[in-house]
Amino acid sequence: MATVEPSIITIEDFKNPIITIEDFKKAIPNHTHLHFTGHGYYNFDVPKRSALEFINESREEKTQLTASEISHLNFNSYELITLSACETALNGQQTIESEYVGLVSAFLKGGANCVVSTLWTVDETSSAWLMIYFYQQYHSGIVPKIALENAQIWLQNVTNQELIIWSRKLLEYGESKQVNGDILRSIQDEINKYNEQNPKSKVYEQDYYWLGFIVHQL
C-alpha cells in the first residue's frame, strides 16, 4: 500500500516483508491506493484464472490470487491501483496486448476507479523511475492518464546528466526519511552508472522502457 509525499512516493510497509494473500486482504479496507510490484500471469484459456502471486501462509511456497477472487473483493474506496513490473507467461496464442486484461478487469469490477498496468515486463530501474515521476505528477493534482503520459515523455527524453541530478535529490529525500538502506544503495549504484556514461545520452529513450504502461478506467 502506498501514500504520496509532495516530491516522492513513500511506501507504507507491512511489518513482515513477506506478504501473504491474507495479509493483503486484511489491508484492503484501510487504504485508497495500491501499488503492486511482483509476479503475475495471464491465463489465455480461462482469463478469470489469471493471477497475482503471493507467498503462502507457511512462507515456503507461492500461491495465487486469481482474477476471479480479486473481482469479488471490495475496492470501492480505491482511487488508483498500479500493477507494475509483473512478469507474465506468454505462450501459445497469447499476445502482449491481452496479457493483463483479466487482472485489470477484476480490479475494475471490484470497484477501483483507475488501474495502471504494464503490457510487458520492464527493466526494474526504469520502471521505478517512471512510477516515481508518475506519482509526483499525480500528487500535484494531474489525472492518472495525463500524469502517466507526462512520465513517459520525461523518461523518454531525460539525459544521464539530468538523471544524476534527479536521482541525487531522490537519494537525499530517502536519507532524510530513513528509507531502507538497500534502496538507498541501489539509487547510489544507478547514479554511479550514469556518471560513467555520456551525460547527454538518453538511456531510456527506446520504446521498451516506457511505452508498455497504460491506464484503464471505466
Domain ranges for the chain: 2-144+208-217
Helix axes 124-139, 144-157, angle to 10 degrees: 130
Of 39-43, 111-115, 180-184, give the range with the top mean pLDDT. Answer: 111-115
Task: Give the N- to C-terminal CA distance of the chain in Å, as an integer.
Answer: 22
> Rounded mean pLDDT of 184-213?
95
Is residue 90 predicted with pLDDT exceeding 50? no
d(CA 209, CA 120): 10
What is the model's pLDDT at position 59?
65
Query: Which of the 8 DSSP states describes residue 200?
Result: T
> Residue 30 in contact with residue 12, Cβ under 8 Å?
no
- Please tell me whether the overall predicted TM-score, pTM, comes out greater than 0.75 for this model: yes
Helix (H, G, I), strand (E, B) or coil at 41: strand
CB-based contacts of 69, cutoff 8 Å, min separation 6: none
Helix (H) / strand (E) element for 77: namely none
In whole angstroms, what is the distance from residue 68 CA to residue 106 CA? 7
Whole-number pLDDT of residue 118: 85
**Per-residue pLDDT tens for 42-84?**
777 888 888 888 877 666 678 899 999 999 999 999 999 998 8
Average pLDDT across the chain, whole number = 83
